[in-house]
Amino acid sequence: MYKFRTGVAVAATAVAALGLAACSSGGTTDEPTGSGGGDTGGEMGTTLTVWAWDPAFNIYALQEAEKVYQADHPDFTLDIQEQTWDDVQVKLTTLAQSGELDQLPDIFLMQNNAFQKNVINYPDVFTDITDSGVDFSQFPDGVTAYSTVDGMNYGVPFDSGTAINAMRTDVLEQAGYTVDDFTDVTWAEYITMGEDVLAKTGMPMMTGQAGSSDMILMMLQSAGASLFDAEGNPTITDNAALEAAIAVYADMVKKGVFVEVNSWDEYIASIVNGTVASTINGVWISGSIQSAADQAGMWAVTNLPSLDGIDGATHFSANGGSSWAVSSNADVALAADFLNSTFAGSTEFYDTILPGAGAVANWLPAGDSDVYAEPLDFFGGQAIYADVLQFSAGVPSNNTGVYYYEARDAVSAAITKIINGDDAQSALSEAQANVEFAMS
């Protein structure tokens, strides 16, 4: 399942060294025509080339989408080429800089947090699909915003990075609480109850990787704030929501409500080994949670705490997720029809991949399906996927911009300094300066 990782490889290496033999099999034009180009006229072809990663999740979903589309188009095939996310990023960068856009696939998967950066830096790689027939109103605004640049849509959202607050009901019960007590609360209320849970059970509420800004950025987005303004300028300083999020995080660490660990493996181990009372992350974390078979029936899901004193603060956020892009070398008509008939239009498709891979849709009509409404024994009979779809509709937009990763890394470094006792304003000012330097 997709999990967000900090950093992307963008080094431009030689095309020959990358082995870029994956040419689009659907496009019929001799040369791409840049953003919005590709094959938009004549009859549609029968094959689409796709780049994606993760055989058990994204590629499995593509294979099931192919079956759904073949029901009405029996001659249709997908040429699915497995590429890691880092490989996709390197190849896009290399092809854009070399001008060899005819080696792009028809469709490729993009991490949501990298989407705007790539469209802005390499516009000739992408096709504007705003008028493709896809009904973007059927996706949460906060998700479509990742792949929207200058009001134009360049991506069809796929897996949900909608954040959940997954909680051990048995641990809460030991401390005299239920999940309802942690629903629609503020972070101040959460910390107070978290201290009580720690005192009575010995378990911290959460764990997370030291030096990671994931938790703080989820808090930030939940308040409708970002690391950049609408013009792409960094807003690390004089950002009330960011300051509030960092203060909450530092307070949790100080009080033992949140315990920092050294690695991703340690974080997962804290969940499956039963040493933590809850976790807040993208819904994809539910796969790891359910790997602890001995904890079946002991988990439930609710929304996130909201930031105290911040206008526009909500109980919803996201971490991770991905969207499908149509390249400028694509058989655009076929690519758009395929996406519109599957990832943006088929309940049957999402009914299949939900139990098969735990792939929660960003496509809101999927929530009307009986499959999404089915109670899960592992989560105490709660229909968590239906709840997650409702959460996703409330996730505020997040302006990632071109320098998102630089800002993310700078904030992560600032957090470490603040936790170690440095002045918060000085650490954030340094982070702001570092991002401004990178942008210059």
Assigned domain for 7 exists: no
Cα distance between residue 143 and residue 183, in whole Å: 23
pLDDT of residue 230: 86
Are 400 and 148 spatial neighbours (Cβ–Cβ below 8 Å)?
A: no
pLDDT in tens, 275-284: 999 999 988 8
pLDDT given at position 140: 87
Q: Please give the structure tokens belonging to residue 193.
A: 């109850």
260 and 295 both lie in a single domain: yes
**Lookup result for tokens 């098969």:** 356
Residue pointed to by tokens 């999402």: 350
User: Do 148 and 29 sit in the same domain of this protein?
Assistant: yes
Q: Give the number of domains in the chain.
A: 2
Beta strand segments in 135-230, E: 148-149, 152-153, 155-157, 163-168, 206-209
Domain of 36 in residue numbering reads as 15-160+320-371
258 and 269 co-located in one domain: yes
Where residue 35 sits, what CATH number does that domain have?
Answer: 3.40.190.10
Rounded-to-integer distance, Cα 287 and Cα 136, Å: 28
Q: Which token pair is 8?
A: 């992307």
pLDDT at residue 392, as a whole number? 87
Q: Whole-angstrom Cα distance, residue 77 to residue 49?
A: 9
Residue 382 lies in a domain: no
Q: What is the DSSP string of 26-58?
A: S---SS--STT-S--SSS--SEEEEEE--IIII
- pTM, rounded to two decimals: 0.76
Whole-number pLDDT of residue 10: 32
**Any domain includes 416:** yes
Q: What are phi and psi of 51, to 5 degrees?
A: -105, 130
In a domain, 389, yes or no: no
Shared domain check, 409 and 331 = no
Question: 108: helix, coil or strand?
Answer: strand
Verify that 136 and 60 share a domain, yes or no: yes
Instruction: Let me know whether 285 and 420 are in one domain.
Output: yes
Give residue 129's Cα distance to chain centre: 21
* pLDDT value of position 200: 98
- Report the candidate in 410, 168, 145, 397 with the shortest Cα–Cα distance to residue 280: 168
Would 229 be classed as within a structural domain?
A: yes
Residues 31 and 118 in one domain: yes
Asked if 88 and 96 touch (Cβ cutoff 8 Å), the reply is: no
- Is the residue at 387 inside a domain? no
- For the chain, 440 residues long, the average pLDDT of each consecutive 10-residue run is 33 32 34 40 82 89 97 97 93 97 97 91 97 95 90 94 95 98 98 98 96 94 94 93 96 97 93 96 86 94 97 93 96 97 96 81 87 91 90 87 86 93 94 93
pLDDT for 384? 92
- Enter the tokens of residue 14: 């030689």
Please state whether 415 falls in left (phi above 0), alpha (psi between -120 and 50) or beta.
Answer: alpha
Q: Are 310 and 244 in contact (CB under 8 A)?
A: yes
> Distances in Å between the alpha carbon of 53 and those of 84, 94, 123, 162?
5, 19, 23, 20
d(CA 96, CA 397): 28
Residue count of the chain, please give it.
440
Read off the tokens for 230. 């609408």
For 387, phi then psi, to 5°, come to -65, -40
- The angle that helices 332-341 and 60-70 make with each other, rounded to 10 degrees, is 100
Separation between Cα atoms, residue 180 and residue 371, nearest integer Å:
24
- On whether both 106 and 32 belong to a single domain, the answer is yes
Residue 152 and residue 67 share a domain: yes
Residues 215, 436: Cα–Cα separation, whole Å? 23
Residue 383 lies in a domain: no
Q: Given the structure tokens 């009859």, which residue do they identify? A: 43
* Shared domain check, 343 and 288: no
Residue 72 · residue 365 · CB < 8 Å: no
Instruction: Give the pLDDT score at 166.
Output: 97
